[in-house]
Chains A and B, each alone.
Chain A
Amino acid sequence: MDLSLSTETVGDRTVVRVGGEIDVYTAPKLREQLVELVNDGSYHLVVDMEGVDFLDSTGLGVLVGGLKRVRAHEGSLRLVCNQERILKIFRITGLTKVFPIHTSVEDAVQATD
């Protein structure tokens, strides 16, 4: 399975829906998408990971890179994820402290903290 990406604007947020596998082969595609969004002025991103089947450290690196980019513009990067096997990777790398992780896109879009 490859990586699928789609974006949607909800208010002042841009929701990026990711599906498939994020690994060393597909992660550059996600990186390009995030870089493009930030270059186009979207600084408040919500990455919906509900369709993600696999995530590795390369994917984590891309998300951290995205967070760094939006923060440079005082933006935000929120994740939506309910899958235990994906959440586990954020926990063992300590990244649950770095990313706000929400249970639904609605929740993430409304979050303001």
Chain B
Amino acid sequence: MATVELLFSALPEHVRTARLVAAAVARRAGVDEAVLDEVRLAVGEACSRAVGLHISNEVTTPVRVTLIEDEKKFSIEVGDDAPGPTPEALAAANGSERAAGGPEESGADSEDDMGLAVISGLVDDVEVTADERGGLIRMSWPIAPAAVAP
């Protein structure tokens, strides 16, 4: 069961809220302090991407963020309702060795690619899936064994 679920209208101003909530819940779950910056950045990238997809596809449903605390890991799922990305983008995010070059043009596609590149560069355990109904980015981080949540 999810520890915390967050639904927000697909607007850029709400991405910061999602970052703050995710970092607070991750800290409480026992994710190492040194990794919290990565959690914050990765969830921000995933939410920014979802917001962008909803806006460009004129999807009116909210973006979904699910924060799940297990015994050994903390998982974040960010779901969108936009039709899926290209297979190339999926392949790039799912652990290909492609080095993210510096895109010379900051068009929508390259920004989307850069967001996924940042996520795959930051997070070891990441999975990006998409079908005609929407996409899901699932990321997880280990929970520090010494941490005991009160």
Q: Known interface pairs A92-B121, A93-B118, A93-B121. Does A68 touch B104 (Cβ–Cβ under 8 Å)?
A: yes
Spot the interface stretch: A10-18, A20-28, A41-49, A100-108.
Answer: A20-28
Residues of chain A contacted by B15 (CB below 8 angstroms)? 23-25
Interface residues of A in 63-91 (CB under 8 A from B): 64-65, 68, 85, 89
Interface size classification for chain B = 20 to 34
Interface size in chain A (residues, C-beta < 8 A): 22
| A57–B111 CB distance below 8 A | yes
Interface: B30 (CB within 8 A): no
A58 and B48 contact, CB distance less than 8 A: yes
Chain A residues within an 8 Å CB radius of B102: 64, 93-95, 97-98
Task: List 20 A-B pairs, Cβ < 8 Å.
Answer: A23-B48, A24-B15, A24-B44, A25-B12, A56-B41, A57-B45, A58-B48, A58-B111, A58-B115, A60-B114, A61-B106, A62-B106, A64-B102, A64-B103, A68-B104, A68-B105, A68-B106, A92-B117, A97-B102, A98-B102
- A contact set with B: CB distance below 8 Å: 21, 23-25, 54, 56-58, 60-62, 64-65, 68, 85, 89, 92-95, 97-98
